[in-house]
Amino acid sequence: MNESGPYDGFWSGFGSDLGEATLVAGALALFRHHSCHVRGCARLGRPVDGTPYLACPKHHPAHQGQKRGVSQTTIHTAHQQRHSSTA
């Protein structure tokens, strides 16, 4: 049995500190690229139709009310508006 630890091979596969730094920087850039564009908001955003901006569920203009508190009418109305605007 190898008592030195089963993770030795795992960690050595990550390579140098440079590799890890690149990984962290990449993850950060990815997060910033996908975060809400409202100043001071760090939530992940989704594209706002017709704009180059991203907005989180709280700041998205197409979102009304609480995420889990919308009525079926709200969803139906949004769905029909979407269809009538693209038709």
| Interior angle at CA 66, CA 62 and CA 70, nearest 5 | 75
The correct pick among 48, 53, 59, 78 for binding Zn ion (CB under 5 A) is 59
Q: Is 37 a binder of Zn ion (CB under 5 A)?
A: no
Shortest Å distance, C-beta 8 to Zn ion: 43
Three-class DSSP category at 55: strand
The correct pick among 41, 46, 53, 63 for binding Zn ion (CB under 5 A) is 41
The correct pick among 38, 46, 48, 53 for binding Zn ion (CB under 5 A) is 38
Are 41 and 59 a contacting pair, CB within 8 Å?
yes
